[in-house]
Structure 1
Amino acid sequence: MDKTQTTGRTGDRTDALIALLDIADALPGAGELRARSYELLGVAPDTTMADVGCGSGRAVAEMAERGARAVGVDLDERMVTVARGRRPAMDFRVASAYELPFADGELHGYRAEKVYHVLDDPARAVGEARRVLAPGGRIVLIGQDWDTFVIDADDAVLTRTIVHARADLVTDPRVVRRHRALLLDAGFADVTVEVHTGVFTDATMVPVLADLAEGARSAGVISDAQAEAWLAEQRERGRRGRLFLALPLFVAAATRR
């Protein structure tokens, strides 16, 4: 996450984000998606890989297990503190996606998952990625389109309102639609895009749905009563095994010329 302070309310938000990321990392298919990103990166012994926006560091540890020299980078100091506490043997650094702590051409691979939607200048971040990658190095960008939560609910209009209102709180909610163009414009080659859709049908994803409702409520787009009723329905669906949430994740990969 691209933040500069981690005290007070900002620290509380980071802790809440860590909890959501932990849920996401443990979901069915999440491990397979991370493994696919390592395959696209070419993670192997004696390669140097960076995970930008590393969060609590799971991907860094998994790339290291595959023999790579893996470095985690995050601008949120609290996030890096948590990563270091959980994985003290790993290399984690506080730095911006715009100013990475690597020399020109130092990396064989650059990975960023669920990061570019919080950046105000994704093109600048891609340019910085190109700087730190060696010729032939690989980049992988993973993210969601915040307008494409597919949710079953009794009130379809209210559900669309909630999804779009939450998306509008994100710096760049639809940046994944531009990942391919950003990579091409920066001079990368062999650009590919894949989509991996998770389908969830139980209460595991209720905290994610609660985040959507709270975002729309805090923006003043829906009332407290609407948020509470919508979420109560989703909780009941989860309890009965009738919840339905589909979330596409897009994976863009390319080679540094």
Structure 2
Amino acid sequence: MSTLLTVLDFLDDLPQARDLREHTYKALGDTVVDVGCGSGRAVGELAARGARAIGVDLDPAMIQVAAERWPSGEFHVADAAALPLDDGSVTGYRADKLLHALPEPERAVAEARRVLAANGRAVLVGHDWDTFVIDSDDPAFIRTLVHARADTMPHPRIARRYRNLLLDNGFADVTVEVHTIVWTGTEGLPMLAGLGEGAWLDDQDARARADRLFLAIPIFLASGTRAA
């Protein structure tokens, strides 16, 4: 738990991540549910903007952390496919870094449509786990590492399906954007450490300390409006 929180905090504190979060908050309205809220950063920020912000996560320990950190929010332990909300009760739905971890992500998107009011906005955010772009002298080995890490997840490539998931569940005005986060120094090493260990990681560490690391991760943001 402490390791996961450390990684989440590291990612949330990145300037690019802060800018992207702010971008996802646009047009969500005055009652917003953040599904897979984790440590609650987005819920706290939405509440500070004047919204009724509701955080939902399946992990009770994470919800406890979120409630302690962001007392201005409202938090619930619940499944993304069975939200504790009435039909049409929210104006905005947000799921960040969530759908790849779900066994049936399409059920979560159907649930988003259920809880959204007419003309409510859904925002799906995440990266395709096959698209870590890493400079290396052994690109074939890096591809093997990236794909092996991706294959440990239920739906590692779900981000490329965001648009179709929204369209298939009755959303209109669906758009997709790509925001790429780039690391060139030691601040990128925690992201690489999640792929494995060994000589390749030592090489990347040396690159980072010589200001020669290059890591880029495209983040996909899809949004749509619940048709009346």
TM-score, normalised to structure 2, is 0.97
Among 246, 250, 254, the alignment partner of 2:216 is 246
Point out where structure 2 has 5 or more consecutive residues left out of the alignment.
Answer: none
Corresponding residue for 1:7? Answer: none
Q: CA deviation at 1:15?
A: 2.6
Question: Could you tell me how far apart the structure 1 residues matched to 2:210 and 2:12 are?
Answer: 24
**Contact preservation (8 Å) 1:43, 1:63:** no
**Contact preservation (8 Å) 2:52, 2:73:** no
**Contact preservation (8 Å) 1:55, 1:80:** yes
Corresponding residue for 2:19? Answer: 32
Any idea what SS the aligned residue of 2:15 has?
coil
Runs of 4+ in 1 over 4 A off after TM superposition: none
**Deviation digits for residues 188-215 of structure 1, max 9, x if unmatched?**
10000000001110111211101111xx
Task: Decide which structure has greater helix share.
Answer: 1
Any idea what SS the aligned residue of 1:138 has?
strand
Question: Could you tell me how far apart the structure 1 residues matched to 2:15 and 2:52 are?
Answer: 27
What letter matches 1:252 in structure 2? Answer: A
Among 75, 87, 104, the alignment partner of 2:58 is 75
Question: Could you tell me how far apart the structure 1 residues matched to 2:20 and 2:63 are?
Answer: 23
Q: How does 1:86-125 map to 2 (within 5 A)?
A: 86-125=69-108
Question: Could you tell me how far apart the structure 2 residues matched to 1:87 and 1:135 are?
Answer: 29
Among all aligned residue pairs of Structure 1 and Structure 2, give the percentage whose two residues are the same amino acid.
Answer: 57
Point out where structure 1 has 5 or more consecutive residues left out of the alignment.
Answer: 1-13, 214-226
Any idea what SS the aligned residue of 1:169 has?
coil
Q: How does 1:122-201 map to 2 (within 5 A)?
A: 122-201=105-184
Q: CA deviation at 1:92?
A: 1.1
Corresponding residue for 1:53? Answer: 36
TM-score, normalised to structure 1, is 0.86
Q: Does 1:21 align with 2:4?
A: no
What letter matches 1:237 in structure 2? Answer: R
Q: CA deviation at 1:78?
A: 1.1
**Contact preservation (8 Å) 1:203, 1:239:** yes
**Contact preservation (8 Å) 1:43, 1:66:** no
What letter matches 1:25 in structure 2? Answer: D
RMSD of aligned Cα (Å): 1.0
